[in-house]
Structure formats: structure tokens, C-alpha cells
A = this chain, B = another copy of it.
Amino acid sequence: MKKLETIEQLKKSIIELKHENKSIGFVPTMGFLHEGHLSLIKKARENHDIVVLSIFVNPLQFGPNEDFERYPRDIHRDEQLALESGVDVLFAPTLKEMYPHSPSIKMKAISRVDVLCGKKREGHFDGVVTVLTKLFHLVQPDAAYFGQKDAQQVAVVEALVKDLNFPLQIISVPTVREENGLAKSSRNVYLTNSEKQEAPQLYRSLQYGVQAIENGERDPFAIVQMISTYLNEHTSGEVDYIEVYSYPSLEAVNVLQGNIIIAIAVQFQSARLIDNIIIEI
């Protein structure tokens, strides 16, 4: 595995790989790798000659009151995991390397962003599309891999690629969960012991909603109500949102049909957890 820290080094590698007509799978991450990331790497490993993993905690996608500074980092462990999971190129640039000067171009995500996590995280997806545009240009992958756990991110990135005709595919990979159902997340480390006991209830509340739909419920509001009651009864966390939309357009619907996402966010003491489920009705 090559570990590269500068854009110059990466460019050289990519030019060589392109010249040899290697197919490149790309997994962009903010590091602190967990099994969710590893499942993306595994999928990319299956589909491509070369797997490029990037690790970059992107300040642009954090709000002023968010956890950029304390976002968990462990590059040595990440490096080991990347090596073990068959990554060919690990790109871990510095902040200065990615943003050497104030920007000349601003990118703004204007659809699929005013719902779910985007509603409270103003500018978050602007930061996501900006850093991904840069990384896509640097890595020139055939496909980029994202976890379905960040379903809104997948939807926004799909719109980015389609809108601006990026020559690559977006592949979303199912959420990896603990045995108890808790979605893997770098932010799970923030949970207190008692919160760790409750956190699996997020996924159970989603399954509870799906079961109601399978039993014939077609009113999105009823689903929201059921999940809300369930979460309030089963967790100490504060429900941030429970939303039901068409997917991937993330538009409100009156009647549940087609591809539907149920997505939730719960604020615990030191961690805000999200989860979602997508079903075809």
C-alpha cells in the first residue's frame, strides 16, 4: 500500500494507473475507520483493479458549533486497517494541501439539502460537494463508494454527479450494524455506557415503522408518530427528527409508495446518532 500525503504524489500515481487502464474504486472518508468503511473498501476491492482510500477531516462540512476539532482521529490504526483490507493507495492530505488559499469558486448544493440532517447543518452539504469535487478530480475514479447510513449524502452526491456530468458511478453500500442493530459510526465512541444500551433502539424504531408499512399503513404522518412514541419510550436521547420522504429525491409525500426513506436523528449527551431505512413499496 502506498501512503501519499501530497497532491503532487497522488497525481503522479493516478496518471500511471490511468495510463495502464486500471479501473479505480474510490472510498472517500474522514478516517477513524470502522466496519462500515471496511465494507465500502471490500465492495470496491471486488469491483476494481485499484482501491484508493482518502482520509481527510474536511472542515468545510462542519458548522461553527460542530465537532471538527474533536472529531475522532487515529491515522496509525486507520493505516493498519487500510493495509489489511487491501487498499492500494491511501491518500491522507493535510488541510493546507487541500485548501491552500481562500476559495475562488463556491459550490452550493440546492436540492435534497433542506431536509433531514441538512436542515440544521447549514452549509454542510456545500462542504461535502466541494471536497468531493476536488477528490474526484484528483483520484479520477471509475466509481466512488458511500455508505447508505448517510443516505442524504448519497442522494446529494448522486445529484452532484448527475448535474455536473462527473465521469464516475456512485455506489451506495448497505449500512453495517452491530449485532444489536446499532449502525456503525465514528461518533459511537462518544456514547456513555448507558447510552450504548439504548442506541440500538434507533434501528428497532425504524423496523417498527417498516412493520407498520408492511401491515398496510400508507400515511407517512402515522409512521412518524409511531416512531416518535417508540423512541421517547425507549431512549433518553432527544429526538432531533423523524422524517419520511421519497428516495433519492427526498421530497415529502402524502401517501407512501415507490422508494421511501424513513430517517431519524437522536441527540444523546455527546453524540448525535442518525439511522435510516429505505424500502420499496
Contacts and interface: CB of A to CB of B under 8 A. Distances in A.
Contacts of A164: 105, 130, 133-134, 137
A159 B111 contact: no
A167 B11 contact: yes
A137 B11 CA distance: 17
Copies in the complex: 2
Interface string A144-162: 0000000000001001101
* Interface magnitude class on chain A: 20 to 34
A103 B163 contact: yes
A160 B104 contact: yes
A165 interface: yes
Contacts of A7: 165
A141 to B, nearest CB: 12
10 contacts: A7-B165, A18-B18, A19-B21, A105-B108, A106-B108, A134-B164, A134-B165, A137-B164, A137-B165, A138-B165
Interface of A: 7, 11, 14, 18-19, 21, 102-112, 129-130, 133-134, 137-138, 140, 156, 159-160, 162-167
